[in-house]
A and B are shown apart, each in its own frame.
Chain A
Amino acid sequence: QVQLQESGPGLVKPSGTLSLTCAVSGGSISSSNWWSWVRQPPGKGLEWIGEIYHSGSTNYNPSLKSRVTISVDKSKNQFSLKLSSVTAADTAVYYCARDIGADGYFDLWGRGTLVTVSS
């Protein structure tokens, strides 16, 4: 059974770079799926950040595109998120998810990790 697990620092300083990794276990990241990052500010709704295919192809939310980089490491069966120039508005629970289909849906989610932006 495929599982996703996010990891990374829970506290990032303003203007710094948020870095998270999503480990895929029980299956291969090179399967025919896209892999996404979704975030949720405290008490608010869900926001899609971007996605990556095992080939390295990416798509990003236009509102975050200038600050986001998503990469894949097939040797470690994981994918990563980097968000630069963070502010308090980037404080959120960050989820990684498996993305199914052409106009995909997210059938599998990690438990999420809270990242707080504060000095």
Chain B
Amino acid sequence: QSVLTQPPSVSGAPGQRVTISCTGSSSNIGAGYDVHWYQQLPGTAPKLLIYGNSNRPSGVPDRFSGSKSGTSASLAISGLQAEDEADYYCQSYDSSLSGSVFGGGTKLTVL
């Protein structure tokens, strides 16, 4: 029962576009706090994918994009590749908890 809600799984064929949603509340995303996204490949540590709602760190392909509106945020992955198969997590700050909160994670399967 994560503070931020993500779909457990999404899937898409190579070359397609998929989106992953992250829904929060008035104490986190809706309060104006930024949303950040991480990619976790099997057996490895999470890797920062998107920060500050829509910014990509150096080295992250522009196939990955993020957006935020109201109490929700989304991660979009276009031109799906087999190597994108991973778990994706959103993260924000929650004022009522005075700390960082994560979504439950979404497993992306490339068909």
Q: Report B67-111 CB contacts with A as 1/0, cut-off 8 Å.
A: 000000000000000000000010111000111111111000000
Q: Considering only CB atoms and an 8 Å cut-off, how many residues of chain B contact the other chain?
A: 26
Q: Report A99-111 CB contacts with B as 1/0, cut-off 8 Å.
A: 1110111110111
Interface pair B97/A103, CB less than 8 Å apart: no
* Complex partner residue of A107 from B51, B104, B105, CB under 8 angstroms: B51
Interface pair A106/B38, CB less than 8 Å apart: yes
- Enumerate chain B residues within 8 angstroms of A109, measured Cβ to Cβ: 45-47
Interface pair A46/B48, CB less than 8 Å apart: no
Q: Which residue of B lies closest to A6 (CB)?
A: B45
Q: Which residue of A lies closest to B37 (CB)?
A: A105
A-B CB contacts (within 8 Å), total count: 63
Interface pair A106/B91, CB less than 8 Å apart: yes
Q: Which residue of B lies closest to A110 (CB)?
A: B45
- Enumerate chain B residues within 8 angstroms of A69, measured Cβ to Cβ: none
Q: Report B26-47 CB contacts with A as 1/0, cut-off 8 Å.
A: 0000000110101000001111
* Complex partner residue of B93 from A38, A62, A95, A104, CB under 8 angstroms: A104
- Enumerate chain B residues within 8 angstroms of A45, measured Cβ to Cβ: 2, 89, 102-105
Q: Which residue of B lies closest to A62 (CB)?
A: B97
Q: Report the bound CA distance from A104 to B44 in whole Å.
A: 21
* Complex partner residue of B99 from A50, A106, A107, CB under 8 angstroms: A50
Q: Report the bound CA distance from A74 to B45 in whole Å.
A: 25
- Enumerate chain A residues within 8 angstroms of B100, measured Cβ to Cβ: 36, 48, 51, 99, 104
Interface pair B98/A112, CB less than 8 Å apart: no
Among the interface residues B38, B57, B100, which one has the most CB atoms of the partner chain A within 10 A? B100
* A59 at the binding interface (Cβ < 8 Å): yes
Interface residues of A (CB under 8 A from B): 36, 38, 45-48, 50-51, 59-62, 95, 99-101, 103-107, 109-112
| 16 A-B interface contacts by CB (under 8 A) | A45-B2, A45-B89, A46-B91, A46-B102, A50-B99, A60-B99, A62-B97, A95-B45, A103-B33, A103-B34, A104-B93, A105-B34, A105-B36, A106-B38, A107-B48, A109-B47
